[in-house]
Structure 1
Amino acid sequence: MDAYLVDLNATKAYMSVYKDSSYEAAQTSSHALLRNPKIKDLISKKLTESEEMRSVTRERILREYKSIGFSNIYDFINVSDDHISLKYGGHIDEDKQKVVKEIEVTKTYKDDEFMEMKAKLKLHDKMKALGVLSEYVELIEKKDSAPAKIEFVLKHDNGKSDV
């Protein structure tokens, strides 16, 4: 299967797996395999997975780290003089929701009567994300500030060179 997904050449993939096969036999057999509904379904799934992986880019990863690194707890809670409560999904924009690592809700009852509800919110590691972003920025700055090195040789008609 993986051999086929490299360049979608069934005959070539067949021959890479069945090395003693002739070209004609590989062509016939690979064509028959591609008509098999189970094989078709598997290829379709693998191609979808492959497309999803191509959507993972450096920019997308950096956006995720940026969301985590610059997150703020007040994006997720409401605070008043005597009360703190969690904002719920509909009031938190989608990018901010990605930085939530865990929400734990505990309800307390006494004699089957609801007494209170406590919520615990954990965000992904902000310092780790900022560390990754800092390293990335340092790499970019080093690349941008690296002095240009230019070397050249001047040749005279007499064959001698000046540097």
Structure 2
Amino acid sequence: MKIAIGNDHSAIDLKKEIIKFVEDLGHEVINFGADSTESCDYPVYGEKVGRAVAAGEAHCGILICGTGVGISLAANKIKGIRCGVCSDTTTAHLIKEHNKANVIAFGARIVGPEKAKDIVKAYLEAEFMGGRHQTRVDMISEIEESEGGLCSR
């Protein structure tokens, strides 16, 4: 599987560990992230990963900034991206099972390397459940597709 990864300056070391971990699991990583500790703008990297996933260049994405929040907000501006912040394995598993998330984010200042690896593994091993969850994912897509969204019903 091809996995896009993006990060800002706060997550250089953690990104390196996650890339090695993901590659050791047998996946290919496309690095869209910063490789310098010089201050940079996380929205650029959230957008790059979001666009790569939306275009099918990558199957899914991993984003890392200080908290995971800012970079996830940027990714979610890309049509077709469903990204959430995961600070634990339960959320990482459920975000794919229930929400069909195609990108996850976490914070380098929030989770350490081992917890981050556990989060990534839980996400990658999870499968979307479909059923009633597909109905809800479709509703999210409806909001994205129309000006009135669900409120116009």
State the TM-score bracket (shorter-chain normalisation).
under 0.3
Taking structure 1 as the reference length, the TM-score comes to: 0.21
Task: Pick the structure with greater CA Rg.
Answer: 1
Taking structure 2 as the reference length, the TM-score comes to: 0.22
